A = this chain, B = another copy of it.
Amino acid sequence: MQNKIHAGHFFEDFKLHEVIHHATPRTITAGDCSLYIALTGARNPLHCSEPLARSLGYPSAPVDDLLAFHIAFGKTVPDISVNAIANLGYADMRFLQPVYVGDTLATSSEVIGLKQNSSGKSGVVWVHSTTVNQHQQPVLSWVRWVMVHKKNQDAPAPDTVIPELPEFVAPELLSVPAHFTMQPTLAAATGGQYWWEDYAVDECMRHPSGLTINESDHTMATHLYQNNARLHFDAHLMKSTPQGQCLVYGGVIMSACKALSYEGLENAIAILAINGGSHANPSYAGDTIYCMTKVLDKWALPHPGLGALRLRMVGVKNIPPATLENIKTAQGYHPHVVLDLDYTVLIPRKGN
């Protein structure tokens, strides 16, 4: 009798240019959106007001960008990272078009890079993942790389191929909603009074609010995203690890920081790209997350009413960001830093 447990891919199982179609296509529902608000405190009205979304030219309210991402990403875990030693990074994440309630997301990943470690016991795999909707239209794509165990240490090392990755998604590659029509309804709905012109490169915002992650809410989020990485919800397993407890899924921290950063970035209505990021330190249930944002760059966009801001979002735990002097030193990240994310948002321009 075969062992029927799908053990996921080990390093020697990945072949360059192989395309892996991940299981569990998922239809996004209004229930997912309500839970996302309940789990994060998100207040972006584009995602929770149908009349607002329609007034701006959307057919209906698009789903929160990170909700779509977490669900899309969760599909890849059983194949790509269930045997991972470490999630090393991600890059070139593009939000290609909005996702709506009723859309069904399916994700596939192409192996675009391989490098066996000198130990011969593990290696690094780069995959380019693409999520499509039920019309086979791509809605999200990204690259991530993970270090994975070898199962058979005698398996031969593959040729080393390291993909070239952009430092950030170039402005001309951003997918800007052509339909977007600026309306005064937006300012009334967000309550924000600042627009693309109002933000300056190098400007910093220390978002005032904090959000405590509790055990049930982070595990519910991980389950909602159908991310089956046990270290997030199998406390018995984790008790015998150095951490001693469940790790919070990094996407939960991204969403917490995004929701916290609403105060000061009310009119940043959509994420266009995630250029890269690091989960600098782990988070556990009981941690309170705070967030600060620095403007890295700004670009006008071809659409006359829209601009983009490239932002650095830094999440810290159990210490308000105002008191954290040095995010990163020669010794590495400050132990309270939990997220250092480089991303690009869409924000309307003034005088539309």
By the criterion CB–CB under 8 Å, are B194 and A134 in contact? no
By the criterion CB–CB under 8 Å, are A37 and B224 in contact? yes
Q: Does A148 contact B (CB under 8 A)?
A: no
- Contact A104 to B51, CB < 8 A, known contacts A35-B38, A39-B220, A223-B40: yes
Q: Please give the count of copies of this chain that the complex contains.
A: 3
A139 to chain B, nearest CB (A): 15
Instruction: Report B-chain residues with C-beta under 8 Å of the C-beta of A286.
Output: 235
Instruction: Report B-chain residues with C-beta under 8 Å of the C-beta of A27.
Output: 48-51, 61
Which residue of B23, B200, B214, B226 contacts A190 across the interface (Cβ within 8 Å)? B23
By the criterion CB–CB under 8 Å, are B5 and A25 in contact? no
By the criterion CB–CB under 8 Å, are B4 and A191 in contact? no
The residues in A between 9 and 28 inclusive whose CB is less than 8 angstroms from any CB of B are 21-27
Instruction: Report B-chain residues with C-beta under 8 Å of the C-beta of A207.
Output: 5
Q: Does A272 contact B (CB under 8 A)?
A: no
By the criterion CB–CB under 8 Å, are B24 and A191 in contact? yes
Q: Does A155 contact B (CB under 8 A)?
A: no
Q: Does A296 contact B (CB under 8 A)?
A: no
By the criterion CB–CB under 8 Å, are A134 and B21 in contact? no
Which residue of B33, B43, B320 contacts A29 across the interface (Cβ within 8 Å)? B33
Instruction: Report B-chain residues with C-beta under 8 Å of the C-beta of A222.
Output: 41
Q: Which residue of B lies closest to A205 (CB)?
A: B4
- In this complex, the interface size class of chain A, counting residues with CB under 8 Å from chain B, is 35 or more
By the criterion CB–CB under 8 Å, are B39 and A6 in contact? no
Which residue of B33, B203, B206, B212 contacts A219 across the interface (Cβ within 8 Å)? B212
Which residue of B23, B32, B102 contacts A189 across the interface (Cβ within 8 Å)? B23
- Contact A37 to B226, CB < 8 A, known contacts A23-B188, A26-B48, A29-B30: yes
B-facing mask of A216-252, CB < 8 A → 1, else 0?
1101111110101010011111000000001000000
Instruction: Report B-chain residues with C-beta under 8 Å of the C-beta of A35.
Output: 31, 34-35, 38
Q: Does A1 contact B (CB under 8 A)?
A: yes
Q: Does A338 contact B (CB under 8 A)?
A: no
- Contact A22 to B223, CB < 8 A, known contacts A29-B34, A34-B35: no
By the criterion CB–CB under 8 Å, are B233 and A21 in contact? no
By the criterion CB–CB under 8 Å, are A214 and B216 in contact? yes
A22 to chain B, nearest CB (A): 7
A217 to chain B, nearest CB (A): 5
Which residue of B39, B41, B214 contacts A228 across the interface (Cβ within 8 Å)? B41
